[in-house]
Structure formats: C-alpha cells, structure tokens
Amino acid sequence: MNNESRDSAGPANGERELPRRTLLSAVSLGLGAVGTALVGVPVLGFILAPVFRKRPQVWRKVGSPEEYKIGETVNVVFVDAEALPWDGVSARSAAWLRRETEDEFIAFSLNCTHLGCPVRWEPGANLFMCPCHGGVYYRNGDVAAGPPPRALFRYPVRVRDGAVEIRTEPIPMV
C-alpha cells in the first residue's frame, strides 16, 4: 500500500481527523476571547460605574445663620458625601458660602470649571479668581473672563432647625 492510498482512506470507523492547523486556530481564538473578556470587563465596568452608581447626598451643618453676615462670602468646611471611615483629613471638603438675605444662602464649589483648580474669593473686587489659568467669576458664580466653560457649580443650601446646611455631593467633575 502506498502513502497516497493510506491518506485517502482516512481514519478508521468513518471518523474525520481534525487538522492540526484548524485545532490551533480554534484554541488561539478561544484564548484570545477569554483574554479580551478578562481585560474588557473591568475596563467596561470602570467606564460605566459613574452611570450606574448611586451618588450619596447628605445635608451637612456648617453653622448657624447668626455666624454669617449678609453680603459676606466665606469658606466653609464639611465632611464629603463619599467619605469613608478611614479617610481622615482627606474626607473634608469645602465650599464658598454667601449669605444673600436673612433667609437666603448660596454655596459654590471651590473648583474652577475649567480644570478644577481651587478658586479664591477676592472680597475687594467681589470676584472669584482661579490662579491656574486666569479664570474669573462674578459673585453669583457666572463666568466673567478666562477659559472656564460654565459657571461655578452650586451646592443646595437650606436653613433648618437653626442651622445652615449644605447638601454635599461628590466633587463636581470638570
């Protein structure tokens, strides 16, 4: 029997032999799919987490109304909404708080809407100034000059049970 007749006869019992190249291709594709899933699922979870994650919102007391003068803007410190028990000092956040009238307060985020640098209040000019790229905001938080694309973010404020409270939210993403 020559080699040609043996190859054409094929395996016994009518079974078909899977060529090595086909088997290796299938194994390679399977391992590639598993590797893609192992890398892709965590990356996809990281990208989609902010969409599906519930953002905590907590009212934090920042003092009594008598502590703040009408028309004055001051820096207030409070515990961040997403603070964990072991965060320590890094759990603190802050805002600019201004008393407009007897009953009305406004709170602004410290972060510039351009790149997130901390803005400072200039009482003589009645402006918020960003030292990083020259962003300037009016006392109501609207953009006065520079690169910021929108007004300063505001925190909700209320007076309840003799205390001024700010509803903390995660630091706004720029």
Give the pLDDT score at 128.
Answer: 94
Amino acid letter, residue 79: V
- What is the gyration radius of the CA atoms in the chain, in angstroms? 31
49 versus 106: the higher-pLDDT residue is 106
111 versus 83: the higher-pLDDT residue is 111
Q: Looking at the predicted structure, is the pLDDT value of residue 61 above 80?
A: yes
54 versus 126: the higher-pLDDT residue is 126
Burial category of 127 from C-beta neighbours within 10 Å (exposed 0-12, middle 13-18, buried 19 and up): middle
**What three-state secondary structure class fits 47?**
helix
Q: Looking at the predicted structure, is the pLDDT value of residue 140 above 60?
A: yes
Q: Looking at the predicted structure, is the pLDDT value of residue 11 above 90?
A: no
- Residues with Cβ within 8 Å of 50's Cβ and at least 6 positions away in sequence, in order, are none
Q: How confident is the model at residue 156 (pLDDT cuts 50, 70, 90)?
A: very high
